[in-house]
Chains A and B, each alone.
Chain A
Amino acid sequence: MAFTYSPIASVTVGSGGASSITFNDIPQNYTDLVVKVSARSSVNDTAFTVQFNGSTTAYYTRNLLTYVAAPTAGTAASSTQSNTASASLEALEPSTYTANTFNSSEIYIPNYAGSTNKSFSADTVTENNGTQSMLVMVAGLLSNTTAITSIKLSPATSGNFVQYSTAYLYGIRATEY
Protein backbone atom coordinates (compact mmCIF):
# COMPACT_ATOMS: atom_id res chain seq x y z
CA MET A 1 0.00 0.00 0.00
CA ALA A 2 1.54 3.29 -1.07
CA PHE A 3 1.79 6.20 1.29
CA THR A 4 1.36 9.30 -0.78
CA TYR A 5 2.47 12.87 -0.43
CA SER A 6 3.89 12.93 3.06
CA PRO A 7 4.89 16.55 3.66
CA ILE A 8 8.58 16.80 4.49
CA ALA A 9 9.11 20.56 4.33
CA SER A 10 7.80 23.72 2.71
CA VAL A 11 9.05 27.21 2.03
CA THR A 12 7.04 30.39 1.53
CA VAL A 13 9.12 33.32 0.38
CA GLY A 14 8.76 36.43 2.52
CA SER A 15 8.66 40.09 1.66
CA GLY A 16 12.35 40.36 0.92
CA GLY A 17 12.32 37.69 -1.76
CA ALA A 18 14.72 34.77 -1.88
CA SER A 19 17.68 34.08 -4.12
CA SER A 20 17.05 30.35 -3.80
CA ILE A 21 14.94 27.77 -2.01
CA THR A 22 16.75 24.84 -0.42
CA PHE A 23 15.58 21.67 1.27
CA ASN A 24 18.33 20.16 3.42
CA ASP A 25 18.62 16.99 5.48
CA ILE A 26 16.03 15.15 3.41
CA PRO A 27 14.97 11.96 5.21
CA GLN A 28 16.10 8.82 3.47
CA ASN A 29 13.15 6.61 4.36
CA TYR A 30 10.90 7.35 1.38
CA THR A 31 10.84 5.78 -2.07
CA ASP A 32 10.39 8.88 -4.22
CA LEU A 33 10.31 12.64 -3.77
CA VAL A 34 7.93 15.19 -5.24
CA VAL A 35 8.51 18.92 -5.25
CA LYS A 36 5.59 21.23 -6.04
CA VAL A 37 6.55 24.79 -6.91
CA SER A 38 4.52 27.97 -7.37
CA ALA A 39 7.03 30.72 -8.05
CA ARG A 40 7.66 34.03 -9.73
CA SER A 41 10.82 35.93 -10.51
CA SER A 42 11.62 39.50 -9.49
CA VAL A 43 13.12 40.12 -12.93
CA ASN A 44 12.47 39.13 -16.51
CA ASP A 45 13.88 35.63 -15.98
CA THR A 46 11.98 32.79 -17.61
CA ALA A 47 13.80 29.78 -16.19
CA PHE A 48 14.67 28.19 -12.88
CA THR A 49 17.07 25.41 -12.03
CA VAL A 50 17.40 22.48 -9.67
CA GLN A 51 20.55 21.12 -8.04
CA PHE A 52 20.93 18.06 -5.83
CA ASN A 53 23.37 17.79 -2.92
CA GLY A 54 25.06 20.99 -4.01
CA SER A 55 26.50 19.21 -7.01
CA THR A 56 27.53 21.59 -9.76
CA THR A 57 28.41 19.09 -12.44
CA ALA A 58 26.95 16.33 -14.60
CA TYR A 59 23.36 17.45 -15.10
CA TYR A 60 21.65 16.46 -18.32
CA THR A 61 18.20 17.40 -19.52
CA ARG A 62 16.05 16.90 -22.53
CA ASN A 63 12.95 19.01 -22.80
CA LEU A 64 9.83 19.53 -24.80
CA LEU A 65 8.63 23.05 -24.60
CA THR A 66 6.50 25.60 -26.24
CA TYR A 67 6.09 29.28 -26.03
CA VAL A 68 2.50 30.03 -26.81
CA ALA A 69 1.36 33.47 -27.78
CA ALA A 70 -2.33 34.00 -27.35
CA PRO A 71 -4.28 34.31 -29.53
CA THR A 72 -1.69 33.28 -32.06
CA ALA A 73 -0.61 29.65 -31.97
CA GLY A 74 2.88 28.83 -30.79
CA THR A 75 5.47 26.31 -31.85
CA ALA A 76 6.64 23.20 -30.04
CA ALA A 77 10.37 22.72 -29.77
CA SER A 78 12.84 20.48 -28.02
CA SER A 79 16.36 20.98 -26.75
CA THR A 80 18.99 19.36 -24.55
CA GLN A 81 21.62 20.31 -22.00
CA SER A 82 24.72 18.21 -21.39
CA ASN A 83 27.03 18.16 -18.39
CA THR A 84 25.83 21.44 -16.92
CA ALA A 85 26.15 22.88 -13.43
CA SER A 86 22.43 22.63 -12.79
CA ALA A 87 19.33 21.33 -14.51
CA SER A 88 17.12 23.95 -16.10
CA LEU A 89 13.42 23.36 -15.68
CA GLU A 90 12.56 26.48 -17.71
CA ALA A 91 9.15 28.15 -17.22
CA LEU A 92 9.71 30.48 -14.27
CA GLU A 93 7.05 33.18 -14.18
CA PRO A 94 8.94 36.37 -15.11
CA SER A 95 8.22 39.80 -13.68
CA THR A 96 6.91 40.96 -17.05
CA TYR A 97 3.98 38.54 -17.02
CA THR A 98 0.57 39.32 -15.54
CA ALA A 99 0.79 40.48 -11.93
CA ASN A 100 -0.18 38.09 -9.11
CA THR A 101 0.48 35.14 -11.39
CA PHE A 102 2.89 32.35 -10.49
CA ASN A 103 4.09 29.29 -12.32
CA SER A 104 2.99 25.76 -11.46
CA SER A 105 5.57 22.99 -11.42
CA GLU A 106 5.93 19.42 -10.27
CA ILE A 107 9.31 17.72 -10.06
CA TYR A 108 9.32 13.95 -9.58
CA ILE A 109 12.46 12.19 -8.31
CA PRO A 110 12.07 8.42 -8.11
CA ASN A 111 14.45 6.25 -6.08
CA TYR A 112 16.22 9.32 -4.73
CA ALA A 113 17.87 7.40 -1.89
CA GLY A 114 19.13 4.57 -4.08
CA SER A 115 22.60 3.95 -5.40
CA THR A 116 21.92 4.57 -9.08
CA ASN A 117 22.21 7.74 -11.13
CA LYS A 118 19.39 10.11 -10.37
CA SER A 119 16.73 10.48 -13.03
CA PHE A 120 13.94 12.96 -12.60
CA SER A 121 11.11 14.56 -14.53
CA ALA A 122 9.33 17.88 -14.34
CA ASP A 123 6.33 19.50 -15.93
CA THR A 124 5.97 23.22 -15.51
CA VAL A 125 3.73 25.96 -16.82
CA THR A 126 3.59 29.71 -16.59
CA GLU A 127 0.53 31.80 -17.28
CA ASN A 128 0.00 35.21 -18.75
CA ASN A 129 -3.11 37.10 -19.63
CA GLY A 130 -2.04 38.44 -22.94
CA THR A 131 0.77 37.37 -25.12
CA GLN A 132 3.35 34.73 -24.43
CA SER A 133 3.34 31.90 -21.96
CA MET A 134 5.29 28.65 -21.54
CA LEU A 135 4.63 24.95 -21.09
CA VAL A 136 7.61 22.68 -20.50
CA MET A 137 8.18 19.00 -19.84
CA VAL A 138 11.68 17.93 -18.84
CA ALA A 139 13.43 14.61 -18.49
CA GLY A 140 16.56 15.02 -16.43
CA LEU A 141 19.54 13.16 -15.08
CA LEU A 142 22.17 13.81 -12.46
CA SER A 143 24.98 11.46 -13.37
CA ASN A 144 25.84 10.75 -9.76
CA THR A 145 24.92 7.73 -7.65
CA THR A 146 24.91 9.49 -4.29
CA ALA A 147 21.59 9.54 -2.46
CA ILE A 148 19.87 12.91 -2.60
CA THR A 149 19.92 14.69 0.74
CA SER A 150 19.33 18.25 -0.42
CA ILE A 151 17.49 20.04 -3.23
CA LYS A 152 18.12 23.63 -4.28
CA LEU A 153 15.89 25.66 -6.57
CA SER A 154 17.20 28.90 -8.06
CA PRO A 155 16.30 31.43 -10.72
CA ALA A 156 18.43 30.60 -13.72
CA THR A 157 20.11 33.91 -14.37
CA SER A 158 19.41 36.71 -11.92
CA GLY A 159 16.88 38.13 -9.52
CA ASN A 160 15.00 36.42 -6.74
CA PHE A 161 11.92 34.39 -6.13
CA VAL A 162 9.35 36.98 -5.10
CA GLN A 163 7.18 37.07 -2.02
CA TYR A 164 4.46 34.37 -1.91
CA SER A 165 6.53 32.00 -4.05
CA THR A 166 6.20 28.56 -2.51
CA ALA A 167 7.85 25.17 -2.71
CA TYR A 168 6.66 21.98 -1.04
CA LEU A 169 8.68 18.79 -0.64
CA TYR A 170 6.81 15.50 -0.29
CA GLY A 171 7.92 11.94 0.29
CA ILE A 172 6.20 8.98 -1.31
CA ARG A 173 6.68 5.60 0.25
CA ALA A 174 5.88 2.39 -1.58
CA THR A 175 5.55 0.19 1.49
CA GLU A 176 4.73 0.38 5.14
CA TYR A 177 7.45 1.18 7.64
Chain B
Amino acid sequence: MAITKLTNSGLSGNKYPNLMADNTFMEPIATTLGTGSSGVITFSNIPQIYKHLQVRAILRGTASATANGTDMRFNGDSGSNYTLHRLIGDGSAASADGYTSRTGAWLGLETDASATANIYAVCVTDILDYTNQNKYKTTRSLSGYDLNGSGQFNFASAVWLNTSAIKSITINAAASGNWTTATRISIYGIRG
Protein backbone atom coordinates (compact mmCIF):
# COMPACT_ATOMS: atom_id res chain seq x y z
CA MET B 1 0.00 0.00 0.00
CA ALA B 2 1.43 3.39 -0.95
CA ILE B 3 2.14 5.95 1.75
CA THR B 4 0.00 8.96 1.01
CA LYS B 5 0.12 10.94 4.23
CA LEU B 6 2.41 11.65 7.14
CA THR B 7 1.21 13.39 10.27
CA ASN B 8 2.27 13.90 13.85
CA SER B 9 -1.29 14.39 15.03
CA GLY B 10 -2.02 12.27 18.09
CA LEU B 11 1.63 11.44 18.76
CA SER B 12 3.08 11.85 22.21
CA GLY B 13 6.65 12.62 23.08
CA ASN B 14 8.95 14.42 20.66
CA LYS B 15 7.31 15.63 17.53
CA TYR B 16 8.95 16.82 14.40
CA PRO B 17 6.57 19.30 12.80
CA ASN B 18 9.06 19.92 10.04
CA LEU B 19 8.85 16.36 8.78
CA MET B 20 7.54 16.78 5.32
CA ALA B 21 7.01 14.00 2.88
CA ASP B 22 5.24 16.20 0.39
CA ASN B 23 5.09 19.56 -1.20
CA THR B 24 7.76 21.67 0.40
CA PHE B 25 9.64 22.81 -2.61
CA MET B 26 10.68 26.20 -1.23
CA GLU B 27 13.65 25.03 0.75
CA PRO B 28 15.98 26.98 3.02
CA ILE B 29 19.52 26.99 1.65
CA ALA B 30 21.27 29.13 4.26
CA THR B 31 20.73 31.87 6.82
CA THR B 32 23.34 34.25 8.13
CA LEU B 33 23.07 36.75 10.98
CA GLY B 34 25.01 39.97 11.24
CA THR B 35 27.89 40.01 13.70
CA GLY B 36 28.16 43.73 14.42
CA SER B 37 31.78 43.71 13.29
CA SER B 38 31.49 42.92 9.59
CA GLY B 39 29.63 44.47 6.73
CA VAL B 40 29.96 41.50 4.40
CA ILE B 41 27.73 38.47 4.25
CA THR B 42 28.49 35.87 1.59
CA PHE B 43 26.58 32.81 0.52
CA SER B 44 28.93 30.49 -1.36
CA ASN B 45 28.48 27.20 -3.15
CA ILE B 46 24.81 27.83 -3.82
CA PRO B 47 23.29 24.51 -4.93
CA GLN B 48 22.44 24.41 -8.60
CA ILE B 49 19.48 22.07 -8.16
CA TYR B 50 16.71 24.67 -7.92
CA LYS B 51 14.95 26.77 -10.53
CA HIS B 52 14.74 30.02 -8.60
CA LEU B 53 16.22 31.73 -5.59
CA GLN B 54 14.50 33.99 -3.12
CA VAL B 55 16.37 36.21 -0.68
CA ARG B 56 14.51 37.28 2.44
CA ALA B 57 16.13 39.71 4.81
CA ILE B 58 15.74 42.11 7.66
CA LEU B 59 18.53 44.62 7.44
CA ARG B 60 20.13 47.26 9.61
CA GLY B 61 23.61 48.65 9.15
CA THR B 62 25.84 51.01 11.07
CA ALA B 63 26.33 53.69 8.40
CA SER B 64 25.84 57.30 9.47
CA ALA B 65 22.45 57.71 7.84
CA THR B 66 18.78 56.88 8.36
CA ALA B 67 18.68 54.36 5.55
CA ASN B 68 20.49 53.26 2.43
CA GLY B 69 20.13 50.83 -0.41
CA THR B 70 21.91 47.50 -0.31
CA ASP B 71 23.34 45.60 -3.23
CA MET B 72 24.26 42.00 -3.88
CA ARG B 73 27.06 40.83 -6.09
CA PHE B 74 26.92 37.57 -7.94
CA ASN B 75 29.89 35.24 -8.27
CA GLY B 76 32.15 37.96 -6.87
CA ASP B 77 31.53 40.27 -9.82
CA SER B 78 32.25 43.82 -8.63
CA GLY B 79 32.41 45.28 -12.13
CA SER B 80 29.96 47.78 -13.59
CA ASN B 81 27.74 44.99 -14.83
CA TYR B 82 24.43 45.70 -13.15
CA THR B 83 21.44 47.98 -13.66
CA LEU B 84 18.68 49.25 -11.37
CA HIS B 85 15.18 50.61 -11.85
CA ARG B 86 12.97 51.59 -8.92
CA LEU B 87 9.47 52.71 -8.09
CA ILE B 88 9.64 54.58 -4.78
CA GLY B 89 6.97 55.63 -2.30
CA ASP B 90 7.56 57.58 0.87
CA GLY B 91 4.03 58.15 2.04
CA SER B 92 3.62 61.50 0.35
CA ALA B 93 4.80 61.01 -3.21
CA ALA B 94 5.69 58.36 -5.74
CA SER B 95 8.83 58.64 -7.78
CA ALA B 96 11.05 56.51 -9.96
CA ASP B 97 14.69 56.33 -10.89
CA GLY B 98 17.04 54.19 -12.89
CA TYR B 99 20.72 53.52 -13.24
CA THR B 100 23.13 51.66 -15.46
CA SER B 101 26.74 50.59 -14.94
CA ARG B 102 26.23 49.81 -11.27
CA THR B 103 28.61 47.58 -9.35
CA GLY B 104 25.91 45.48 -7.68
CA ALA B 105 22.35 44.24 -8.10
CA TRP B 106 19.80 45.91 -5.86
CA LEU B 107 18.74 43.77 -2.92
CA GLY B 108 16.66 46.27 -0.98
CA LEU B 109 16.69 48.94 1.69
CA GLU B 110 18.54 48.85 5.00
CA THR B 111 17.98 51.08 8.00
CA ASP B 112 21.13 52.55 9.49
CA ALA B 113 22.46 54.17 12.63
CA SER B 114 20.28 57.31 12.54
CA ALA B 115 17.03 55.36 12.23
CA THR B 116 14.85 54.73 15.27
CA ALA B 117 16.41 52.02 17.36
CA ASN B 118 15.36 48.42 16.75
CA ILE B 119 13.69 49.16 13.45
CA TYR B 120 14.87 47.16 10.47
CA ALA B 121 14.12 47.31 6.80
CA VAL B 122 12.65 44.21 5.21
CA CYS B 123 13.02 42.82 1.74
CA VAL B 124 12.02 39.91 -0.45
CA THR B 125 13.94 39.54 -3.69
CA ASP B 126 13.35 36.94 -6.38
CA ILE B 127 15.88 35.66 -8.87
CA LEU B 128 14.20 33.44 -11.46
CA ASP B 129 16.13 30.89 -13.53
CA TYR B 130 19.34 31.63 -11.65
CA THR B 131 21.17 28.66 -13.21
CA ASN B 132 20.06 29.34 -16.78
CA GLN B 133 23.12 30.09 -18.90
CA ASN B 134 21.07 31.54 -21.74
CA LYS B 135 19.79 34.46 -19.70
CA TYR B 136 21.07 37.52 -17.93
CA LYS B 137 19.84 37.41 -14.35
CA THR B 138 16.86 39.70 -13.67
CA THR B 139 15.96 40.36 -10.03
CA ARG B 140 12.66 41.65 -8.65
CA SER B 141 12.55 43.17 -5.19
CA LEU B 142 10.03 44.48 -2.69
CA SER B 143 11.56 46.27 0.27
CA GLY B 144 10.81 48.96 2.75
CA TYR B 145 10.94 50.34 6.26
CA ASP B 146 8.69 52.45 8.44
CA LEU B 147 9.96 54.63 11.27
CA ASN B 148 6.53 55.67 12.54
CA GLY B 149 6.63 59.10 10.97
CA SER B 150 8.75 58.47 7.92
CA GLY B 151 9.70 55.59 5.75
CA GLN B 152 10.09 54.30 2.26
CA PHE B 153 8.90 51.48 0.05
CA ASN B 154 10.76 50.33 -3.07
CA PHE B 155 9.60 48.08 -5.87
CA ALA B 156 12.74 47.49 -7.86
CA SER B 157 14.33 45.52 -10.64
CA ALA B 158 17.92 44.87 -11.53
CA VAL B 159 19.82 42.79 -14.02
CA TRP B 160 23.24 41.20 -13.85
CA LEU B 161 24.55 41.40 -17.41
CA ASN B 162 26.04 37.92 -17.30
CA THR B 163 24.64 34.57 -18.37
CA SER B 164 26.65 32.57 -15.82
CA ALA B 165 24.77 30.53 -13.28
CA ILE B 166 24.72 32.23 -9.90
CA LYS B 167 26.89 30.27 -7.49
CA SER B 168 27.57 32.87 -4.82
CA ILE B 169 25.89 36.00 -3.50
CA THR B 170 27.73 38.66 -1.50
CA ILE B 171 25.77 41.34 0.34
CA ASN B 172 27.62 44.40 1.59
CA ALA B 173 26.31 46.87 4.13
CA ALA B 174 26.11 50.38 2.77
CA ALA B 175 28.80 53.04 3.16
CA SER B 176 31.36 50.61 4.58
CA GLY B 177 29.24 50.03 7.65
CA ASN B 178 28.70 46.75 9.48
CA TRP B 179 25.62 44.59 9.74
CA THR B 180 24.02 44.78 13.18
CA THR B 181 23.60 41.57 15.10
CA ALA B 182 19.87 41.19 14.43
CA THR B 183 20.33 41.55 10.70
CA ARG B 184 19.23 38.30 9.12
CA ILE B 185 19.55 37.22 5.52
CA SER B 186 18.09 33.93 4.31
CA ILE B 187 18.28 32.34 0.89
CA TYR B 188 15.67 29.86 -0.29
CA GLY B 189 15.64 27.61 -3.30
CA ILE B 190 12.44 26.95 -5.21
CA ARG B 191 12.17 23.83 -7.30
CA GLY B 192 10.24 23.59 -10.50
Do A100 and B87 contact each other (CB < 8 Å), given the known contacts A5-B26, A126-B157, A177-B4?
Answer: no
A98 touches B161 (CB 8 A): yes
Q: Does A4 contact B (CB under 8 A)?
A: yes
For B, the interface residue count at a CB cutoff of 8 angstroms equals 45
Q: How many Å lie between the Cα of A74 and that of B99 in the bound state?
A: 11
Query: What 0/1 pattern do residues 124 to 142 of A give for CB contact below 8 A with B?
Result: 1111111001110100000
B190 touches A164 (CB 8 A): no
Q: Which residues of A contact B5 (CB under 8 A)?
A: 176-177
Interface of A is mostly: strand
Q: How far is the CB of A170 from chain B (nearest CB, A)?
A: 8
Q: How many Å lie between the Cα of A71 and that of B97 in the bound state?
A: 7
Q: Which of B70-78, B130-138, B170-178, B179-187 contacts A (4 or more CB under 8 A)?
A: B130-138
Interface range, A side: 35 or more
Q: How many Å lie between the Cα of A171 and that of B25 in the bound state?
A: 10
Q: How many Å lie between the Cα of A126 and that of B140 in the bound state?
A: 9
Query: What 0/1 pattern do residues 103 to 128 of A give for CB contact below 8 A with B?
Result: 11110000000000000000111111
CB closest residue in chain B, given A168 = B192
Q: How many Å lie between the Cα of A104 and that of B96 in the bound state?
A: 18
Q: Which residues of B contact A76 (CB under 8 A)?
A: 87, 94-96
Q: Could you jot down 14 A-B contacts, CB within 8 Å?
A: A3-B20, A4-B25, A5-B191, A36-B190, A71-B98, A73-B98, A74-B97, A76-B95, A102-B129, A103-B138, A104-B128, A104-B157, A106-B126, A125-B85
- Chain B: residues with CB nearer than 8 A to chain A? 4-5, 7, 17, 20, 22-26, 51-52, 83-87, 94-100, 126, 128-129, 132, 134-136, 138-140, 142, 155-159, 161, 163, 190-192
